Structure 1
Amino acid sequence: MKHNLSPFKLSQVSFAVLANILPLGVMAAESGVHAEQVEVIEVRGIRASTEKSLNTKRFADGVVDSITAEDIGKLPDVTIADSLQRVPGIQIRRSAGEGATINVRGMPQVTTLLNGEQFLSAGSISEVQPDFTDIPSSLVGAMNVMKSPTADTLAGGISGTVDLVTRKPFDLEDGFSGAALIEASTGSYSEETDPKLMVSGGYNGDRFAVLATVSYDEANLANYRLGSINDGWAYAPFENHEGVDCWYCPKQDMNGDGDSDDAEFTYVNYGIMNRFTERERLGATVSFQAQLSDNWTLSSDVFYTNMDDADRQKGITADNAWGGHWHWQDQHDPIDRGQLDNGHNLYTAQDITLNAPRVISHSESHTNERESTNFNLELEYKGDGNFSGKARFITAEASRSHTENVAQGYLTSGIAHGLRRNDGTGPTAANPGGYGPDPIPMRLNFNGKHPTLTGPEQLQGEVFGSNIDRYAIVSTYSENNYDEDANLDILRLDGEYQFELGHLEKMSFGIRASQRDVTRDEYVLLAPFSNPVGEGSVNVMWKDQGLAAFDTDGNGEVSVKDGDITMGADNPLNFTGLPSGWVAKGSDFGPVNIGEYYFVDPRQLDDPFAFQNTLYPGNVRGGVPGSSYTVEERTQSVYWRADLSNDFYRANVGFQYIKTELDILQNKVGESICTNCPGSVASDGGDIVTDRSFNDFLPSINVSFNLREDLILRTSWGKTMTRLDLESLAGGLSISRARAGDDLAASEGISPDLLIATNATMQGNPELDPWRADNTDVTLEWYFSPSGLLSAAVFNIDLESFIESAQWQIAAEDGDGVVRRNVTVNGQLNGTGGTMEGAELSYQQAFDFLPGFWSGFGAALNYTYSESESGKTGFGGEALPLEDNSKKSGNAVLWYEQDGLQFRIAANYRSKRLHTISTPGGMGNVGIWTEPTTYIDMSASYDVNDFLTVYMSGSNLTEEYESQYAQWENNRMAQNIYERRFTFGVRGRW
């Protein structure tokens, strides 16, 4: 692909060296120049940081909320998202209990900047919003949340923009200074003690300054999943009557009432899962500033993050073996939900006996290696006249390697769902020592505080799950693995001219060019199996003790003859025969007790190649072309802004014009390259190259009226846009084909064995347009004291379009490469728009007007109401909101600061929100909702002296959990459990 931005590119190491050493040489040539003396305001303590944040908000050019370093350091906030949740209108989504991503005013289409410019994060290479779990919060000095657009702010957020501001060397005290901390954290379910170290040191001289910060921490986070394992694997099987062809409909009276007009809501599988997330984070910043002359300042920054993590889970699952066993529930006290469109009466239940044909000891590991480096070189000119300007060059790179590896140990024999193997003496159970042949009754109960799933206490004279001889690995696979790489280059020039023309204060203008290249390569692991029905071997992804593809007996039963599977362990793979250290007994399922079971240690799955090769040697990477792509995105933009003011008002008006060019390389999905694997694991069937461009003109206006010295009315309006996830643009085209048959062959003159195109799936649509919206905001702010604010705001976000699932026709090739017909393709299109509107209320104050002890208290309260419409309707015809938006959210913070003692307790509330939209077979759209949550955190510290502070914090003090239900509030389907965590530390400064 083309690379038009620059004819050459420095390596990252070379640039880092030059960016931080070159200024020294320039400085030496300017030895007679002295830097302008700038007053440094030191912010320490809760009250001082509150006043600084309010000062930033009061004099901002638009609607802005700010958090200073003191807020980040003193709240029990591990990640930046955890701190941002205190801001009015911000809702967060959690990963293993830690804040990961955010919504602003109910929408996730939020862009994040680093010191005012685009930021490339390894956790979300193809998206505009980073995964904040990547970024150590100690690297950031402040965060500004901009809810109204201004012409000079880089466009990219529909509902808002977050600017992460790092500390600058010239803000340090004169001479040498530094800070360090050491802390230990632990959780209520995890048994690990997790360390964190941070060291920061800098020097501020007359003409130059340097600052370096390094942060390292480890985290072992317990979180559990109870109930349905997947949000979307649901069906509404109904009693099949004559003439109805329904593959998931049982052909018997399900509830024994003598009729055939009933249906039941069920998921494919349920389980109780132990999940632990292990993270190792390293972050570093190096910043340099030099006052080259009275007019010129040179700055350079390096921002580096590296995180390795592993999400490991093990648990007991019960499922219906994916079809043929849809009536597997005995519902106790069923609830009548009315009629489906087909006339059947739908029932749900919260206490169910699952007659499970398959019970699995499931182990799984997902790993990530993430690394990103962002460099900034900046030259600023402030002349004696009216003109000032700035030139910036930014280069960044990021990479992420992701793996997923699964081992399924059966407790059941496999006979109940027809899974058999053959050792040469005839078909037998895939797991001969397992329970069976009948399905196993597993009791699933949602009626208590937490869901439970328990097996029969006694089965064949033993406690269920206690006999290791019953277990064997029947299925194992590694899928959804991928490597991602991205590069970003930016050149930006900004200018400003001061005026003395009545109301006109200044004009700002600038140009910008950027290029982002993203490559994604997805793969699975394939192992060679000898072919029982032909010569040579075949590649297999789902390595199973009974391979459904091999029907060598011709009787419909699965048979794998002795020697047909190449493996390095005993056949079958009994737990007792696995390598030492692979298997352990486990009973940790968080707040529920369902007994002890044996599991393959998920740590053994961290290296997919090593694990799979131990069982099935010779694994190779098999491509997934539909999820692999390359995108080059180039933008050129220009902006103009005018600032006007007098004693009564301040205003800025302007526009930003952006031209975006995309080179998108998608892959057609060719023929399958393996046996017993999804059709997406295929050869690369050729490239689909799309070159397109589009333009955006984004005007904006912000006006604030000084109604009184302490009362400000703000109004703003602007157009916003945000780019799409690149996977939505660049995922590949998969065409399904079937044998032509005699009739079609005769009519079209083709071979009856020719594979003809029948339908298609487009994982990415390169013709999708960005999200675009009109934003309106009116805010009234009363600053009744230096640390006091009472404000109210109303806002409206009018979306021009909404991305939705759709169908359309395309010309598709048959198996011989000839296009003979159009077929229906399923994918995404720009559909009807949606809206988000609401109001925000905020209050904060230090109670320093009270006497004595009481003067140390302060409080902050905020509440947000956001009503949204997505344009979609649910199962009952109800209008569905935008996903993940809570209509009501709020924060309450009470703090105390006096005589070196600081204490803060904070509560964060979210009302119910639409988690996702599921489409169960036979029902249409069903909303999966998350129930309301309230998280309570606290922190306390004591300044031993001016240089030493001891502190502690606690997050999720009440062990809040997130329960989910499908469509009806009394139809709970899953629960995510997070732990309480405590941190103890010592912070020093010099």
Structure 2
Amino acid sequence: MKHRLSPFKLSPLACAVMASVISTSAVAQTKDVQKEQVEVIEVRGIRASTEKSLNTKRFADGVVDSITAEDIGKLPDITIADSLQRVPGIQIRRSAGEGSTINVRGMPQVTTLLNGEQFLSAGSITKVQPDFTDIPSSLVGSMNVMKSPTADTLAGGISGTVDLVTRKPFDLEDGFSGAALAEVSSGSYSEESDPKVMVSAGYNGERFAILATVSRDEVNLANYRLGALNDGWAYAPYENDEGADCWFCPRQDMNGDGDFDDAEFTYVNYGVMNRFTERERTGATVSFQAQLSDNWVLSSDFFYTDMDDADRQMGITADNAWGGHWHWQDQHDPVDRGQLSNGHTLYTAQDITLHSPRVVSHSESHTNQRESTNINLELEFKGDGNFSGKARFITAEAERSHTENVAQGYMTNGLAHSLKRNDGSGPTAVNPGGYGPDPIPMRLNFNGKHPTLTVPGQVQGEVFGSNIDRYAIVSTYSENNYDEDASLDILRFDGEYQFDLGHLEKMTFGVRASQRDVTRDQYVLLAPFTNPVGEGSVNVMWKDQGLAAFDTDGSGGTPSASDGDITMGADTPYNFSGLPEGWVKTNNDFGPVNIGDYYFVDPRQLDDPFAFQNSLYPNNIRGGVPGSSYTVEEQTQSVYWRADFSNDFYRANVGFQYIKTELDILQNKVGASICSNCPAEVAQDDGDIVSNRSFNDFLPSINAAFNLQDDLILRTSWGKTMTRLDLKALAGGLTISRARAGDELAQSEGISPDLLIATNATMQGNPDLEPWRAENTDVTLEWYFSPSALVSAAVFNIELESFIESSQWSIPVEDADGVVRRNVTVRGQVNGNGGTMKGAELSYQQAFDFLPGFWSGFGAALNYTYSKSESGKTGFGGEALPLEDNSKESGNAVLWYERDGVQFRLAANYRSKRLHTISTPGGMGDIGVWTEPTTYIDLSASYDLTDNFTIYMSGSNLTEEYESQYAQWKDNRMAQNIYERRLTFGIRGRW
């Protein structure tokens, strides 16, 4: 899968346009050109940025909210997403406590543009919304959130479009100017000193201008996970189910009511997890503008981001050893949740004792290397007549390398869940020095402010977890690694013709062609082991001492390593006490809870998966995952037309955008497994499946603003929207899970009991998916009762014609011998039947400059959004479920002060509960996993030492807000994410 499907078909034309631009520039340099004198409005301070943002909103062509940086490199909040959350209707999702992605009016199908056009972000190559952690906020001058479609705005957002606007050189003061800042930040848990520097310098001359900005920062973010460690690993086992390989499980009265006819809601594992994210990020922009003549302006922009990050985890986990061990809990004060479909009564509990067959010192590292380059070249014509136009060429590249590496240090010996190996003297525990054979009782309680995990004080005569000789690396693996790269080429032409025909003001029109290519290559690391049942060796991904692959001949013999084939022996070097110096560290930092000191493999040792895995098991190779590897080429051709009308009473625009999308999708046929004890998708690539499809979208739109009074505007809009599909959802392969037929099925179907038969399948990509499509209606009333004041009310309705949802269906699938004998259930994504999102927004902001003296420096901003959604899905009790991640209510409150060089801002952001995900625990059907309401409070303050130097500080998440999750019922909490308070101190200068 190394070939490209086709080159960008418009490249020769694009080259011709670039050549003509360059030659035009050369000729123009010989002319004596007088630059038109334009007044430059400089934005500095909270009041000025508020007035500019309101001015943008007031005279916008549709429903728009705007945020303007107070100065070069100074948005209102630390990150772009954190600033965007102040806009009515925007909700953000957090990564390690920082805003990473956004919803507009409850939906994440939001297109983000860079200076009005598509761009590539390395953190989300396959999507239309970037990962905002990629982009240093210092590079952005303003952000416009467009909630109603207009014909000339690039389509792609269902509920809205965000345009990130960088500063233009011709907007600078004449001559040389610049700005710089240096700051340091620290977290309440991380306690690191994280630096950031930014330098911006520009020159605005008589005929040309240039502006360059460079930003560099490092950050260490602490966040913790307490409780259930995975949202989907849940089950509802029945008390009368007997676990064949679990000696303490059969017919257990889990809730203590004296019978065996109940069921218990439980998760596979629980724990306390220390998580730290380390990021090193560089961003740079260079913009150039030249007045080639009175009528021609040449502009070019270079936008670059580079980020290396590592998400590292250490935690103590207790689990049921994945199979046959579901009856591992005692419920204290259980709650009756009603009957399941089979008549069992379902119980949940917030205080449980975990009889843990496996307790693990878990270490994990996820790393990313992300880099993107976006280049824009633009030639603009403004003639003396009625016509003006623009030609624009954009080219971009992005790449991302992602790794995941895990080391599980057992503290238990494994006998409680029958994990044994043969070391030459007969079956023995996988971790002979570990605690056991009895399960370890651990008390998990969700009833307090934070979940608590209480471990036994003494086990086998010593403090539990205090002896390093009890720990050993029993399992290690590296999976979900991938390399992604993408390219983007765009060529567009826009024209405008001014009219003097009464109400008709102008017509705008344009054509655009683009091509985006995305390639993903996913892999795992495989090591060769001596084949326990035959000659040669087998490749293994989950390198676990409990696997049969570690027993070479069934008799317990322990040959030495040869030819890279490895067998685990009795004298294992992987006890923690025998690991190389620097590999093991102690840790007692689990955020707001304290369970004592434990030993861990230092997650930093896992940052390089090949080096770590080879140090334990030499000769690792990349094992392909064809079901998650693909190539997609997306070509679009579009044309738009728009007419603007106006008089003293109204402004309106009407138009359409027509888009033709062509997709060439290269998937892989997933063949037989290439290793022992691997997930089904780690398989041979049995060839390519190429799908070619196309679809067309006609998107009309109408926007009208009526001047009811000089300061009162009634705004209405209607339009159709669509969003491009996540290419990953289109292109993943079909993965088939197979299992040994067994004697009973072999006898009934006349096949070998050892034949691997198809049992189920997962379709990771569906080439037949249609885009999200919707019809949007907005009505807004805006009262601008002063240059820095606004009261507005809006109602909106989004009718989803189609959207993407998870589903399952049956298809005929071959068994391992190539014969189709039965249909199996396939899980994947399909187009749903539609849904709705409707609501209202209220907003107020004002500078209190009408007050006397000191009080005139204050100002405030308040907004509230109500958005109700329906997804068409129902939960466990038959209740209707909303769209995922939508809070029905959200709001912001900001109090600010600016006077005599002092600035101060206190901001609060509220979100009501939201559906985190839909889970399907075994035995229950769909349930909703919800995130409880949150309120984040942030602070910033500064003082102008002189006209050119300012000292400042900021604090984010001052109250150390955390996010608690519950499964189906509010009093059934299952996990909590802990985020830290961040404080920043810095100095800013300008010249």
Q: Is the 8 A contact 1:424 1:562 kept in 2?
A: no
Pairwise CA distance, 1:77 = 2.2
1:427-458 deviation digits (Å, cap 9, x = unpaired): 11111110000100011111111111121011
Pairwise CA distance, 1:925 = 0.8
Partner of 2:10: 6
Partner of 2:82: 82
Pairwise CA distance, 1:461 = 1.9
Matched to 2:715, the amino acid is R
Partner of 1:777: 778
Partner of 1:390: 390
The TM-score with structure 1 as length reference comes to 0.96
Q: How large is the RMSD of aligned CA atoms in angstroms?
A: 2.6
| Alignment partners' CA distance in 2, 1:949 and 1:880 | 49
Residues 178/657 of structure 1: CA separation in 2 closer, same or farther (3 Å cut): same
Partner of 1:928: 929
Partner of 1:137: 137
Partner of 1:456: 456
Unmatched 5+ residue regions in structure 2?
none
Partner of 1:878: 879
| Alignment partners' CA distance in 2, 1:86 and 1:256 | 50
| Alignment partners' CA distance in 2, 1:607 and 1:863 | 46
Partner of 2:792: 791
1:703-742 deviation digits (Å, cap 9, x = unpaired): 1100000000000000000011111100001234466789
Residues 807/350 of structure 1: CA separation in 2 closer, same or farther (3 Å cut): closer
Partner of 1:315: 315
Q: Is the 8 A contact 2:630 2:668 kept in 1?
A: yes
Residues 238/815 of structure 1: CA separation in 2 closer, same or farther (3 Å cut): closer
Q: Is the 8 A contact 1:568 1:615 kept in 2?
A: no
Residues 250/516 of structure 1: CA separation in 2 closer, same or farther (3 Å cut): farther
| Alignment partners' CA distance in 2, 1:270 and 1:144 | 43
Counterparts of 1:622-771 in structure 2, within 5 Å, are 622-737=623-738, 757=758, 759-771=760-772
Partner of 1:972: 973
1:334 maps onto 2:338 in alignment:
no
1:678-698 deviation digits (Å, cap 9, x = unpaired): 111110122111000000000
SS in 1 for 2:441: strand
Residues 417/821 of structure 1: CA separation in 2 closer, same or farther (3 Å cut): closer
| Alignment partners' CA distance in 1, 2:755 and 2:596 | 55
| Alignment partners' CA distance in 2, 1:368 and 1:165 | 27
Partner of 1:951: 952
| Alignment partners' CA distance in 2, 1:642 and 1:503 | 10
Counterparts of 1:896-911 in structure 2, within 5 Å, are 896-911=897-912
Residues 419/743 of structure 1: CA separation in 2 closer, same or farther (3 Å cut): closer
Matched to 2:668, the amino acid is N
| Alignment partners' CA distance in 2, 1:229 and 1:435 | 23
Partner of 1:279: 279
Q: Is the 8 A contact 1:633 1:660 kept in 2?
A: yes
The TM-score with structure 2 as length reference comes to 0.96
Q: Is the 8 A contact 2:254 2:331 kept in 1?
A: no
Partner of 2:807: 806
| Alignment partners' CA distance in 1, 2:404 and 2:24 | 46
Counterparts of 1:249-268 in structure 2, within 5 Å, are 250-268=250-268
Partner of 2:377: 377
Pairwise CA distance, 1:774 = 0.2
Pairwise CA distance, 1:191 = 2.1
Which range moved further: 708-717 or 821-830? 821-830
| Alignment partners' CA distance in 1, 2:918 and 2:249 | 23
Partner of 2:599: 598
| Alignment partners' CA distance in 2, 1:243 and 1:742 | 21
Q: Is the 8 A contact 1:375 1:394 kept in 2?
A: yes
1:178-198 deviation digits (Å, cap 9, x = unpaired): 000000001111121000000
Matched to 1:507, the amino acid is M
| Alignment partners' CA distance in 2, 1:682 and 1:195 | 45
Q: Is the 8 A contact 1:238 1:249 kept in 2?
A: no
SS in 2 for 1:474: strand
| Alignment partners' CA distance in 2, 1:246 and 1:795 | 56
| Alignment partners' CA distance in 1, 2:341 and 2:225 | 33
Unmatched 5+ residue regions in structure 1?
none
Counterparts of 1:22-41 in structure 2, within 5 Å, are 25-30=26-31, 32-41=32-41
Pairwise CA distance, 1:76 = 6.1
Counterparts of 1:173-188 in structure 2, within 5 Å, are 173-188=173-188
Pairwise CA distance, 1:29 = 2.6
Partner of 1:400: 400
Pairwise CA distance, 1:566 = 1.9
SS in 1 for 2:29: helix
Partner of 1:466: 466
1:447 maps onto 2:486 in alignment:
no
Partner of 2:492: 492
Q: Is the 8 A contact 1:212 1:286 kept in 2?
A: yes
SS in 2 for 1:697: strand
Matched to 2:330, the amino acid is D
Residues 313/72 of structure 1: CA separation in 2 closer, same or farther (3 Å cut): farther
Residues 827/522 of structure 1: CA separation in 2 closer, same or farther (3 Å cut): same
| Alignment partners' CA distance in 2, 1:431 and 1:562 | 20
Pairwise CA distance, 1:805 = 2.3
Pairwise CA distance, 1:462 = 1.3
| Alignment partners' CA distance in 2, 1:595 and 1:752 | 50
SS in 1 for 2:715: strand
Matched to 2:964, the amino acid is S
Residues 23/819 of structure 1: CA separation in 2 closer, same or farther (3 Å cut): farther
1:146 maps onto 2:146 in alignment:
yes
Residues 74/941 of structure 1: CA separation in 2 closer, same or farther (3 Å cut): farther
Count of residue pairs brought into register by the alignment? 983
1:413 maps onto 2:417 in alignment:
no
Counterparts of 1:332-371 in structure 2, within 5 Å, are 332-371=332-371
Q: Is the 8 A contact 1:76 1:937 kept in 2?
A: no
SS in 1 for 2:910: strand
Matched to 1:235, the amino acid is Y
| Alignment partners' CA distance in 2, 1:775 and 1:247 | 59
Pairwise CA distance, 1:586 = 0.7
Partner of 1:214: 214
SS in 1 for 2:589: coil
1:91-116 deviation digits (Å, cap 9, x = unpaired): 00000011100000000000000000
1:490-539 deviation digits (Å, cap 9, x = unpaired): 00000000001111000000000000000000000000111122111110
| Alignment partners' CA distance in 2, 1:72 and 1:232 | 44
Matched to 1:805, the amino acid is S
Matched to 1:194, the amino acid is D
| Alignment partners' CA distance in 2, 1:431 and 1:920 | 31
Q: Is the 8 A contact 2:532 2:554 kept in 1?
A: no
Partner of 2:97: 97
Pairwise CA distance, 1:341 = 1.2
Partner of 2:42: 42
| Alignment partners' CA distance in 2, 1:630 and 1:236 | 40
Q: Is the 8 A contact 1:97 1:979 kept in 2?
A: yes
Which range moved further: 394-403 or 563-572? 563-572
Residues 430/489 of structure 1: CA separation in 2 closer, same or farther (3 Å cut): same
| Alignment partners' CA distance in 2, 1:177 and 1:824 | 65
State the percentage of identical aligned residues: 84
| Alignment partners' CA distance in 1, 2:644 and 2:778 | 19
| Alignment partners' CA distance in 2, 1:714 and 1:903 | 33
SS in 2 for 1:571: coil
Pairwise CA distance, 1:549 = 5.5
Which range moved further: 247-256 or 392-401? 247-256
Residues 246/886 of structure 1: CA separation in 2 closer, same or farther (3 Å cut): farther
Partner of 1:852: 853
Counterparts of 1:490-639 in structure 2, within 5 Å, are 490-548=490-548, 561=558, 563=560, 566=566, 571=572, 573-639=574-640
Q: Is the 8 A contact 2:249 2:328 kept in 1?
A: no
Residues 612/756 of structure 1: CA separation in 2 closer, same or farther (3 Å cut): closer
Q: Is the 8 A contact 2:21 2:379 kept in 1?
A: no
